[in-house]
Structure 1
Amino acid sequence: MQEAVSQSLYSYWDALRGNRPAPKRFEIEPSRIANNLPDTFILERVNYTNARFRLAGTRITDALGMELRGRNLFEMFDIGDRRTLQNQMELIASRCAVGLFHMSAESADGKSTTFEVLILPLTHTSDTVERFLGSVASREKPEWLGSVPLTRRKLVHHEIVWPSRAAPEDESDFQYQAPILHTRREARIVRSARRQFRVFDGGLSLSGDDR
Structure 2
Amino acid sequence: MADIVPHRPVLKRPENSALLAHWDALRGDAVAPQRSSFHPMDVPRHLPRLIMLEPDLPAKADIRIFGTELAHRLGYDLTGQDMFDLYDSDRVHVVRELVTLVAEQHLVAVGYTDWTTPAGHVFTTENVWFPLICEDGKVTRLLGSLWEMTAIDADIVSLGDSLDKAENLSDRKFYQF
Tell me which residue corresponds to 1:178. Answer: none
**Structure 2 unaligned regions, length at least 5:** 1-10
* Letter aligned with residue 80 of structure 2: G
CA 1:25–1:99: 2 relative to 1, 3 Å: same
2-structure distance, mates of 1:49, 1:116: 26
Deviation per CA, 1:74-130, whole angstroms, max 9, x where unpaired?
333333331122122211111110111111222344333221111100013643102
**TM-score with structure 2 length normalisation?**
0.82
Say if 2:21 is the partner of 1:7. Answer: no
Query: Structure 2 residue aligned with 1:24, among 16, 26, 34?
Result: 34
Tell me which residue corresponds to 1:41. Answer: 51
Task: Kindly indicate whether the alpha-carbon contact (under 8 Å) linking 2:117 and 2:156 is maintained by their aligned counterparts in 1.
Answer: no
**Structure 1 unaligned regions, length at least 5:** 164-211
Deviation per CA, 1:132-167, whole angstroms, max 9, x where unpaired?
11101111241534412242222231111112xxxx
2-structure distance, mates of 1:55, 1:156: 21
Query: Structure 1 residue aligned with 2:69, among 59, 62, 82?
Result: 59
* Letter aligned with residue 107 of structure 1: T
Tell me which residue corresponds to 2:87. Answer: 77
1-structure distance, mates of 2:175, 2:81: 26
Tell me which residue corresponds to 2:173. Answer: 159
1-structure distance, mates of 2:106, 2:52: 16
Say if 2:154 is the partner of 1:140. Answer: no
2-structure distance, mates of 1:70, 1:18: 31
RMSD: 1.9
Q: Which has the larger radius of gyration?
A: 1
1-structure distance, mates of 2:71, 2:155: 11
1-structure distance, mates of 2:124, 2:70: 12
2-structure distance, mates of 1:97, 1:145: 34
CA 1:77–1:89: 2 relative to 1, 3 Å: same
Percent identity of the aligned residues? 23
CA 1:26–1:141: 2 relative to 1, 3 Å: farther
* Letter aligned with residue 8 of structure 1: A
CA 1:105–1:36: 2 relative to 1, 3 Å: same
Aligned structure 1 segments of 4 or more residues deviating by more than 4 angstroms? none
Task: Kindly indicate whether the alpha-carbon contact (under 8 Å) linking 1:65 and 1:146 is maintained by their aligned counterparts in 2.
Answer: no
2-structure distance, mates of 1:69, 1:141: 27
1-structure distance, mates of 2:42, 2:22: 8
